[in-house]
Copies of this chain bind each other. A is one copy, B any other.
Amino acid sequence: MFSFTVESQDSSTSARAGRIQTAHGEIRTPVFMPVGTLGSVKAVHQYELKEAVQAQIILGNTYHLYLRPGVGTLEKAGGLHRFNSWAYPILTDSGGYQIYSLSHKRKISEEGVLFSSHIDGSSHVFTPESVMDIQRQIGADIVMAFDECTPYPCDYAYAKSSMGLTHRWLARCCRRFDETEGLYGYGQTLFPIVQGSTFPDLRRESAEVVASFNRPGNAIGGLSVGEPAEDMYAMTELVCGILPKEKPRYLMGVGTPSNILESIALGIDMFDCVLPSRNARHGVLYTKRGIIHIKNLKWKEDFSPIDEESDCPSSCFYTRAYLRHLLHSKEILGAQIATLHNLSFFLWLTREARRQIQQGTFFEWKKHLLPELERRL
């Protein structure tokens, strides 16, 4: 069970507002998806995610969940939704990105990837088929194809051959996915991933190949890995021009508030990023008026609320001085408050973008807001 409806199309940009239906409920787009690496969005309760953050869908990382708690446990639980008591939509990545960024050693072949666990060094193999099976066991509503995410910079020859491998793996992912069924009585949906680094001809080719698979939604990977923002936007624009309009587009691992607004304007519907939650734990807070480095001395005796304009109750309840003190003292509550704040802000940002698209004011609103978002308070 999966459907996507475009409800409004912005007249001056490629932004659109839509609705995705999944077995675990509806997702109104554009949407930001908080990252719940190990089945938990760090420092946030599931009911806070729903109520304070207003999250509609969260991510799980296949690599992490495969290692801990392990797919055997997840299958016995009846899938990740049952395991972590999050009854709403979940998306899982394919594990590829973590293999490349976390695993001690890895060996890529046509068959798949041999890698060693970052926890205990044990050896494991992921293939397109096994990753589909694992994501069946996890039971996310949206599952991602197994790809190779190229680093930046990346030479043309490597990017081209890697892209070819990603496409061959995609065919294997689709075959395996279509031969199998969800294990828990509800349907799942597979999204393929466009690669091609920052090379326009490769991105074009990859987008065409991916579109030809005709899956219910499509993703763009391999961006936000260190390339200049202009390259990211150029590749996103090019790919969005090829991926079908009637299907949701997911830009993986993006990004800053500005990145998100610019990419919405290019036609992106879905985002995920660890930025708001990770930066929260380091004291970087996002607001409508700019960025607060809350650990700075400047905030030591600021007894005003963290952000009175926030939708997040705790950002109106606690003071800046208190949050600064908690983060300096490494108190867990500091991570809790800051994470709630940033995730609420990212969810507000995509929710407000949706509203502006619907009322035809997205372009003006974005133009006005962008310089505010970058300001350092």
Contacts and interface: CB of A to CB of B under 8 A. Distances in A.
A47 B316 CA distance: 13
Interface residues of A, number: 41
A339 to B, nearest CB: 9
Contact of A331 (B40, B76, B85, B326): B40
A317 B46 contact: yes
A264 to B, nearest CB: 30
A68 B327 CA distance: 11
A224 interface: no
Contacts of A318: 46, 84-85
A325 B76 CA distance: 14
A42 interface: yes
A332 interface: yes
A82 interface: yes
A41 to B, nearest CB: 8
Interface string A65-83: 0001100010011100011
A322 B84 contact: yes
A319 interface: yes
Given A69-B321, A303-B77, A332 B329 contact: no
B303 A38 contact: no
Interface in A114-149: none
Contacts of A44: 333
Nearest to A337: B45
Contact of A73 (B82, B83, B321): B321
A343 to B, nearest CB: 13
Given A45-B314, A321-B83, A336-B43, A300 B331 contact: no
Given A301-B76, A318-B85, A336-B332, A325 B68 contact: yes
Interface of A: 38-47, 68-69, 73, 76-78, 82-85, 300-301, 303, 313-314, 317-319, 321-322, 325-326, 328-329, 331-337
